[in-house]
Structure 1
Amino acid sequence: MSRRFRTRMVMNIVYSTVVACLVEVFLIANVSMISSYLRETRYRDSFFLRLTETETLMAFVYLLSGIAIFSVTFFALQERSMRYISRISSAIQNISEGDLNTTIEVRGDDEFTAMAVNLNKMVGDIRNLMDKEREAERTKNELITNVAHDLRTPLTSIIGYLELLSGKVEIPAEMQKKYIDIAYAKSKRLEKLIEDLFGFTKMNYGKVAMHVSKVDIVKLLSQLLEEFYPSFKDKNLSYELQSNVPGKVITADGNLLARLFDNLINNAIKYGADGKRVLVQIHAEEEVVTVSVTNYGYVIPADELPLLFNKFYRVEQSRSTNTGGTGLGLAIAKNIVDMHGGTIQVTSDLNGTVFTVRLRTNFDINRENFQMP
């Protein structure tokens, strides 16, 4: 028990003892006075007087009276605590029956108060856990639905073209090549979807091991842009890399960063074709590196910006289908940024759609409660 609770219990015992003693003294004094009066009058032979002259019996009466007075006083002083205990007991009963909306008023500062606080916290934790489980179940069902839909669409096309090619009807060589090219493109899209799906699942459930090393982020982005040259040429896009330093070495997982910026650049190429240009900017400081990828295509509505990093979210379903999007690229990008303890943001207006990534230059994989400055 806490010192405060023990002190209160001791004080209640003292108060009860004092009250019992005072009442006993008052009782004894009055009984003695009445006995003296009876001896001096004609009632000297009364039953009450003979009773009071029996010392053993009177001692027993006084003892019982003292215990009764002490008990009544002590329970009166403890009544508030007892009612509080009763409320806690009722709340525990309600919780055990499944009523998780039960809360206990917190008052005082003793063991019962701590019990009420802990009980309220426990109920809140259980509610949060159940909400997370419901959300996980909803997310799982949503994932299954979206995966089934996205796998079925290209698979149906592949099967259809292969049936045409394997049929008895003669198809010109040019049409055969066209059908094969379409089936191949759909197969590649299917492969990309499965790859993104596995990657997202592993990251989302913490099954991706990070291999942290020294990475020159300026060199990394320069190489990625060069690798995307055929895609830029195919979309008739130009690209530019701007950096305030010729090179900047940071501590990170190089493979994951390559995938992060691969997704952002690929996203900029697919959805920025109308703007004819993709701009990648690097601003390196002592502790933080900021990388922004800008395209000048379709302006994303402001109310949809916070939803872009949700899995399977697409700003425009038909457009995303035409460009081969899986709806997982930005969700994977955000997961990678979170794994590095950084931040990713997006803005979109007439000046362009900008994805901004901020990363620590010295990332510590064992650091907890990481916060960007």
Structure 2
Amino acid sequence: MIFLWVGIALLLGCSNLYLLFSRRKQHRDLLYIHEKLNTILEEATAENIQVFTNDPEIKKLLIVLNRLLAQKNKTVLTYTQLEQSIRRMHTNMSHDLKTPLTVILGLSESFMLDQKLSENERNNLIANIYEKAQHILSLMNKFFDLAKLESGDLDLPITNINLNEVCKNNILFFYEQITDKGLKVDVEIPEVTLYANSNETALNRILNNLLSNAIRYGADGQVIGIRLRYDEQHVWIDIWDQGKGISERDQKLVFERLYTLEDSRNQLYQGSGLGLTITKRLVEKIKGKISLTSKPFDKTIFTIKFDRANINS
């Protein structure tokens, strides 16, 4: 009996010692976590908190804290990128507005001060001033359009649209311009009528932007193409050219807000960096997706993807 009590006492003693050491270890871990967390926040580092422990509660706490730190790091990165984009936007806006304004001032001075100008020369000056003013207005409209898209204020009602007709109308709109440049046109539109739930006005603007881009900056390849393809669930519109293309690095960034190409192939997204950003926002607004693949002087393809719909949907 005595041995039993002695055994019980030893067991209780060991249990108490274990609990004591466990609490001390837990206290040390919590103290370390507290100090480490303060250091991470004060020094604004991107670290995680790492503690070797078997305590299930400490493990749960670490998981939650590290998730919060990861979210904090992501937010900081997003803020930093946005800040850089805004600085770049200010620089680009200043440049894009300053250049035509400087030209307008110069032309205006010539118009006012040079009394020897002929009537024809004065008319040319007025036409140039008007052209530069239109350029400024167009640029400002793009900024307003992007602001509306990103704030959700642009109303684009979704309806059932015939993609065959939209594609045909857009390539016909540019057909004379394409042939005047001596370019070939490759049109692939199936006889099967394809529908998508989208917005026809926005899609026309998207295709207009992409076709203008292909004509102006893909002309080196001597051919411009549009292709409408499908499967049971989806439809795709490809706008392609065989010009100088877009580098692999720029392909990953070209749709980003206010990103500009160093060797821009398109004034729509040169300088202010708005054209493809607006195009992408419009595609997303009308329930589509846009992607880009490019192999220089082989094929550059902008692809718009929609869920396929039937005529009654």
Relative to the length of structure 2, the TM-score reads 0.81
Which secondary structure state, in structure 2, belongs to the residue aligned with residue 298 of structure 1?
A: coil
The equivalent residue for 1:135 is 81
Query: RMSD value over aligned CA atoms?
Result: 3.3
Correspondent of 2:27 among 82, 89, 92: 82
Correspondent of 1:232 among 160, 178, 184: 178
Correspondent of 2:307 among 360, 364, 367: 360
Aligned 8 A contact 1:342 1:360 in 2: no
Which secondary structure state, in structure 2, belongs to the residue aligned with residue 345 of structure 1?
A: strand
Question: Cα distance, 1:303 vs. partner?
Answer: 4.2
The equivalent residue for 1:295 is 241
Which secondary structure state, in structure 2, belongs to the residue aligned with residue 244 of structure 1?
A: coil
Aligned 8 A contact 1:297 1:353 in 2: yes
What is the distance in 2 between the residues matched to 1:242 and 1:19?
Answer: 93
Give unpaired runs (5+ residues) of structure 1: 1-17, 25-65, 364-373
The equivalent residue for 2:200 is 254
Letter in 2 for 1:343: I
Aligned residues: 303
Letter in 2 for 1:345: L
Higher RCO (CA 8 Å, separation ≥ 6 residues): 2
Which secondary structure state, in structure 2, belongs to the residue aligned with residue 228 of structure 1?
A: helix
The equivalent residue for 2:139 is 193
What is the distance in 2 between the residues matched to 1:80 and 1:323?
Answer: 59
Matched, 1:244 2:163: no
The equivalent residue for 1:31 is none
What is the distance in 1 between the residues matched to 2:215 and 2:177?
Answer: 7
More displaced 10-residue stretch of structure 1: 204-213 or 151-160? 204-213
Q: Which structure's CA Rg is the greater one?
A: 1
CA 130–265 in structure 1, closer or farther in 2 if over 3 Å, else same: same
How is 1:215-226 mapped onto 2 (pairs within 5 angstroms)? 215-226=161-172
Question: Cα distance, 1:136 vs. partner?
Answer: 1.1
CA 89–308 in structure 1, closer or farther in 2 if over 3 Å, else same: closer
Correspondent of 1:282 among 213, 228, 244: 228
Question: Cα distance, 1:264 vs. partner?
Answer: 0.2
What is the distance in 1 between the residues matched to 2:114 and 2:61?
Answer: 80
The equivalent residue for 1:157 is 103
Relative to the length of structure 1, the TM-score reads 0.70
The equivalent residue for 1:335 is 281
Deviations 1:197-254 (A, max 9, x none): 2222333454434421111112112222333345436545453432123531101122
Aligned 8 A contact 1:294 1:353 in 2: yes
Matched, 1:115 2:66: no
Aligned 8 A contact 1:218 1:247 in 2: yes
Give unpaired runs (5+ residues) of structure 2: none
Which secondary structure state, in structure 1, belongs to the residue aligned with residue 228 of structure 2?
A: strand
Deviations 1:245-293 (A, max 9, x none): 3531101122222221111011112113344432111112221111111
